[in-house]
Structure 1
Amino acid sequence: MKVPKAGAIAAVIGIALTASACAGDDEQGTLSIGIKFDQPGVGMREPDGTFTGFDVDVATYIAKELGYKKDQIVFKQVLSNDRELLIEYNEVQLVAASYSINDKRKQKVDFAGPYFLAHQDLMVRANDATITRAEDLNNADKRLCSVTGSTSAENVRKNLAPKASLLELGGYSECLVALKEGLVDAMTTDNSILAGYTVRKGNEGKFRLIGLSLSNEHYGIGMKKGNTELQVKTNNAIRKMVEDGSWEAAVKKNFGPDYKYEPAQAITTGS
Structure 2
Amino acid sequence: MNPRKLTKAGVAAAAALALSFSVAGCGDDGGGGGSGGDNEKITVGIKFDQPGIGLKTPDGTYTGFDVDVATYVAKELGHDPGDIEWKEAKSADRETMLQRGDVDFIAASYSINDERAEKVDFAGPYLLAHQDVLIRADDNSITKPSDLNNKKLCSVTGSTSAQNIKTKVAPDAQLQEYGGYSECLTGLENGVIDALTTDDSILAGYAAQEEFKGKFKLGGFKLSNENYGIGVQKGSELKAQINTALEKMVADGSWEQAVKKNFGPAGYKNEPPPKIGEIVG
Residue of structure 2 equivalent to 1:160: 169
1:99 aligns with 2:110: yes
Amino acid of the residue matched to residue 252 of structure 2?
Answer: D
1:148 to partner: Cα distance:
4.8
1:249 aligns with 2:257: yes
Say which of 112, 122, 127 aligns to 2:133. 122
| Comparing 56-65 and 241-250, the one that deviates more | 241-250
1:29 to partner: Cα distance:
4.5
Could you tell me which runs of 5 or more consecutive residues in structure 1 were left unpaired when the two chains were aligned: 1-25
Could you tell me whether the CA contact under 8 Å between 1:144 and 1:164 is conserved in 2? yes
- State percent identity of aligned pairs: 59
- In the aligned structure 2, how far is the partner of 1:85 from the partner of 1:152? 23
Say which of 217, 221, 246 aligns to 1:212. 221
Say which of 42, 48, 68 aligns to 1:57. 68
Amino acid of the residue matched to residue 191 of structure 1?
Answer: D
Aligned to 1:130, the other structure's residue is in SS state: coil
Aligned to 1:256, the other structure's residue is in SS state: helix
Once the two structures are superposed, residues 123-155 of structure 1 have per-residue CA deviations (whole angstroms, 9 ceiling, x without a partner) of 12234333333323333xx33222456563463
Could you tell me whether the CA contact under 8 Å between 2:156 and 2:180 is conserved in 1? yes
1:49 to partner: Cα distance:
1.5
1:203 aligns with 2:203: no
Residue of structure 2 equivalent to 1:4: none
Could you tell me whether the CA contact under 8 Å between 1:135 and 1:160 is conserved in 2? yes
Amino acid of the residue matched to residue 212 of structure 2?
Answer: N
- In the aligned structure 2, how far is the partner of 1:193 from the partner of 1:261? 12
1:62 to partner: Cα distance:
0.9
Amino acid of the residue matched to residue 156 of structure 1?
Answer: I
Residue of structure 1 equivalent to 2:244: 236
Residue of structure 2 equivalent to 1:136: 147
Residue of structure 2 equivalent to 1:19: none
Structure 1 length as normaliser, TM-score? 0.78
Amino acid of the residue matched to residue 63 of structure 1?
Answer: A
| Distance of aligned partners of 1:120 and 1:201 in 2 relative to their CA distance in 1, 3 Å threshold | same
1:157 to partner: Cα distance:
4.8
1:47 to partner: Cα distance:
2.3
- In the aligned structure 2, how far is the partner of 1:115 from the partner of 1:49? 26
Aligned to 1:205, the other structure's residue is in SS state: coil
Could you tell me which runs of 5 or more consecutive residues in structure 2 were left unpaired when the two chains were aligned: 1-31, 33-38
Could you tell me whether the CA contact under 8 Å between 1:138 and 1:163 is conserved in 2? yes
Whose radius of gyration is greater, 1 or 2? 2
- In the aligned structure 2, how far is the partner of 1:123 from the partner of 1:32? 33
1:109 aligns with 2:120: yes
- In the aligned structure 2, how far is the partner of 1:95 from the partner of 1:115? 13
